[in-house]
Every structure is written in structure tokens, then in C-alpha cells.
Copies of this chain bind each other. A is one copy, B any other.
């Protein structure tokens, strides 16, 4: 297979775009997809300060490197969840990556704010993955706001976004469907959130990470019950295989024609948000979810004699 642009030996074949590229031309393709995402979804400009959520996986590190190469002002934020060897390794990968490429990095340890995940798993009855996701989103937003960043960027790719959309659609969850997308504007208490890789598939980010020599953290979290949305990703993968391009068409069509309907519905019926009485973050209840978990955890640990 030859590169469609320069006719050299191709290293990446992309059926959904009906094309194939050599390494250099693949970078060009990749960069243009990110540029198009940033421009069309009005994500940010050259003067914005961007906080990039870094888990250590291929997508977040790819995003960080690509934005830096495009000249944006990026700072990484890694949240250390304190889950034994897994968290230690993920953090080490992120730190080595940022050192190698001379990129700014902040690390926040959830244990330091009373939310070590092993404690959550031990004392809180709710599914740990759901609490963990909530805690991460909360602190990404909090750090971005408190340190004056203009926008929070995450490494979600097209497969992540399409699988999440598929799950929300199967349940017809109007609230989520009104509020899912690659670029969510700032709102009272929430920093702007963007997903510059939403036009690129998992396969494309994996190729980029491999070609750029990014050492990724790929061990699954020991608490995870298997990959989230994996079934949906497989079904959508099947659909894409039979009809290349249909995954992007599904997601893009939603942004154009689906989401507006649910936004209209939510305007008529949606919950009002008000500041949490503990931390000031926007919430539809009096006390926000993260403050509730933090308080419950501290009480349970006191009962168990682990706190003074």
C-alpha cells in the first residue's frame, strides 16, 4: 500500500477515510484533524491557557504532545488516585513524558484531599468507578478554575465519544444527550471543556502514539470491571467495518441534528444549578456529590478508628 499523498510505503491504512499514509503524511493528516476540531468547535485560541487532563494513556499523552507541537500554551494535570502499583506506574509514565518533552505538569493526590480511592472502595457503597470519575471531573474543573486556565482539554477520541453517545441513546437519557459534545462552553462554576481528538479514532491515536514513541500506561485499573463501553465499541466497530465513515457520521449528525432537540427539551424541563454549600461548585442538590462522598468517607473512617 502506498501513501496517498507522497507515494512512499504506507504505514497506516485508514478505511474510514479511504486512504493510507506514510509516517510524515500521517502526522500532517492528524494535525489537520485536530486543527479542524479546534476551529469548527471554537475550542480555544493561541492566547488561551490550556489545562490538559493526563491519565497516562495513549490519548491524553498524544493530545498533550500534539497541542504543544502546534504551539499552544499547555499544562498537564495528573490526578494520582492512590491505587497502589497501578497509580504509581501511571504517574511515573506521565512524569517521564513531561520531562522528556519539557512540558509543564501539575500532580494532585486525591489522598491529600481525603479521597484516596482505596478508602472509597472500602467504605463507600456506591460503585467505585462512578465515584472516581466524579472526583476526577471535579478536581480537573477546580484546578482549572482556581489556577486561571481558560479551558480544560481531555483526550477523548471518536470511539470514546461515539460509544458514550450510543449508550446514552440506547437509554434515551435526555439530560446527558443535551449536554454531550466535543466543546462545552463555560457556565457558572464550570470551566470550558474541549475534546480536540474527537474527530480521530482510537486506531488513529494509537498509531500516532506508537510512531511518536510515546510510552503509555496501558495496564487496566485494578478496580475496573473491564473496559467501559467495550461492548458498544465492538458494535460500532462492526457498523464501521460494514460501512466505513458511519461512526463519525453518527456522532457528527448528533451534534448537528440530535443535540439541538434535547437542548430545547432541557431548556423547558432541566434542573437548575446552584453553588454547593460546602465548596461552591455548581450542583442541583444542596451539597455536591464530591463533598457528600468526602464527608461520608471521613465519618466512616472515624467510626472505624482510622481518624482521630
Which A residues form the contact surface with B (CB < 8 A)?
A: 169-174, 177, 231, 235, 238-239, 242-243, 246, 249-250, 253-254, 256-258, 260-262, 264-265, 268
A171-B249, A172-B256, A261-B261 provided; 16 other pairs, C-beta below 8 A? A169-B258, A170-B246, A170-B249, A170-B250, A170-B253, A171-B253, A172-B250, A172-B254, A172-B257, A174-B258, A231-B239, A231-B242, A235-B235, A238-B238, A261-B265, A264-B265
**Nearest CB to that of A178 among chain B residues?**
B261
- Chain B contacts for A260, CB-based, 8 A: 265
Q: Is the interface of A mostly helix, strand, loop or mixed?
A: helix
- Chain B contacts for A265, CB-based, 8 A: 260-261, 264
Q: Copies per complex?
A: 2
Give A235 to B247 CA distance when docked, in angstroms.
14
Residue in B238, B258, B261, B262 whose beta carbon sits within 8 Å of that of A235 in the complex: B238
Query: How distant is A87 from chain B, measured CB to nearest CB, in Å?
Result: 31
Give A172 to B169 CA distance when docked, in angstroms.
11
CB of A268 within 8 A of CB of B257, answer no
**Nearest CB to that of A266 among chain B residues?**
B261
Query: How distant is A258 from chain B, measured CB to nearest CB, in Å?
Result: 4
- Give 6 CB contacts A-B under 8 Å: A171-B253, A174-B258, A231-B243, A235-B235, A238-B238, A260-B265
